Amino acid sequence: MQRFDVLVVGGGPAGSATAYRLADAGASVLLVDKATFPRDKPCGGGLTTRALRQCPVDPSPVVEEEVDVVELRFRYGDAVVRHSQAPVIRMTQRRRLDAFLLDAARDKGVEVREGTTIDIAHAPADVIVGADGANGTTARGVGLGAGIVHGVAYEGNVPYGLVDRERYERRAVVELADIPGGYGWVFAKGDHVNVGVGAWQSEGPRIREHLARVCAAHGLAAGQLENLRGHRLPLRPPGVRIANERALLVGDAAGLIDPVSGDGMYECFVSAKLAAEAILSGSLAGYEQAVDAALAPLHRASWKLKYALDRWPRASWRVARTRLLWRSVERLLLGELAAPEEQHGLARIPLRALERLGRT
């Protein structure tokens, strides 16, 4: 049987980006995915600019809308609308983005096998990369990822016509302070909007009711949504092992979703880059530490903000709606700040206030 330097299990953004970077550096890479592409993945499809900056290829051909207007609302009422100097999110559909990234990896020389699973006990490679997402089995198979916890998210699409295109053009609407452990969203795409909710996992039994309230706030009946899909949001508590001598985990398989935003594609691309660097260095020993250095400050702050919004919604909203906070949010989305703690000057004041609320 042909042997490879690296086996990547899973061809989502994390797996494709890791494989792409490895092949680009000359490694021989086998990538297997149990699905046949194009395949969909439950997701809002919001690619933040900070994610885009870490993506190894330019995904412009599959971007459907650029977002430079962010509308934050408190319990479907009081709202602030913020305009960014440059697009902060590119809206895509995962069916299109993931196929595009997988093709880019294939073009770099990665051996891609779709509709295929593999017994990792007999992996034909020196190193195994677990990139099989929130429901993957590779982590357990290589003795990693124990202790990852989960949130839950649910979303669907509504074509323009049923909703007004102009209302949502270049806009991301974020509905705060109603859904425990999360928020609702409406994201503009090419020919439809995506409507969704994220929440604590314990809200699973009520997730349809949460989505129905977000729909109602936008003049929609929940029954008007097409392609309704739910999926887990894996969250990694500090110290959870994501690498050993022969294997490492990237993206959702490593539980790297941002606890407050529910975004994970930035984390996919960051972990893919660090994984490729570790593998190419000949030792996986530094990978976990590198991931912590890159993501832990951001995720620590996100946990505090999540608790602040959940426990003190009104007080948090008073801070969240300030222009001063938007300055930091915009810089975070643009990738100018890796974490809120890098913000200096006056703009630190609302960040400190939210941090204190989150600790209380």
Ligand X SMILES: Cc1cc2nc3c(=O)[nH]c(=O)nc-3n(C[C@H](O)[C@H](O)[C@H](O)COP(=O)(O)OP(=O)(O)OC[C@H]3O[C@@H](n4cnc5c(N)ncnc54)[C@H](O)[C@@H]3O)c2cc1C
Asked if 268 interacts with ligand X (CB under 6 A), we say yes
Selected from 193, 265, 284, 305, the binder of ligand X by CB under 6 A is: 265
Tally the residues of the chain.
360
Query: What is the smallest separation between the CB atom of 117 and ligand X, expressed in angstroms?
Result: 4
Asked if 132 interacts with ligand X (CB under 6 A), we say yes
CA–CA separation, 312 and 105 (whole Å): 45
CA–CA separation, 65 and 171 (whole Å): 9
Asked if 130 interacts with ligand X (CB under 6 A), we say no
> In b/e form, how buried is each residue of 192-214, taking b as 16+ CB within 10 angstroms?
bbbbbbbbbeebeeebeebbbbb
The pattern of x and - marking residues 230 through 249 that bind ligand X according to CB under 6 A reads -x-x----------------
Q: Which of 175, 167, 169 is nearest to 188 (CA)?
A: 169
CA–CA separation, 46 and 65 (whole Å): 10
Asked if 101 interacts with ligand X (CB under 6 A), we say no
- Strand 4-9's sheet: what is its strand order? 111-114, 29-33, 4-9, 125-130, 247-249
Residues numbered 35 to 54 that lie near ligand X (CB under 6 A) are 35, 41-46, 51
Selected from 8, 10, 179, 302, the binder of ligand X by CB under 6 A is: 10
Selected from 56, 87, 136, 358, the binder of ligand X by CB under 6 A is: 136
Is 253 or 319 the residue whose CB approaches ligand X more closely?
253
Is 78 or 209 the residue whose CB approaches ligand X more closely?
209
Is 234 or 350 the residue whose CB approaches ligand X more closely?
234
As given in the structure block, the two tokens for residue 196 are 């969704």
Residues numbered 12 to 31 that lie near ligand X (CB under 6 A) are 12-15
Closest residue to ligand X, Cβ-based? 264
Residues numbered 153 to 212 that lie near ligand X (CB under 6 A) are 153, 155, 196
Asked if 137 interacts with ligand X (CB under 6 A), we say yes
Q: Which residues bind ligand X (CB under 6 A)?
A: 9-15, 32-35, 41-46, 51, 117, 131-134, 136-137, 153, 155, 196, 231, 233, 251-253, 257, 262-265, 268
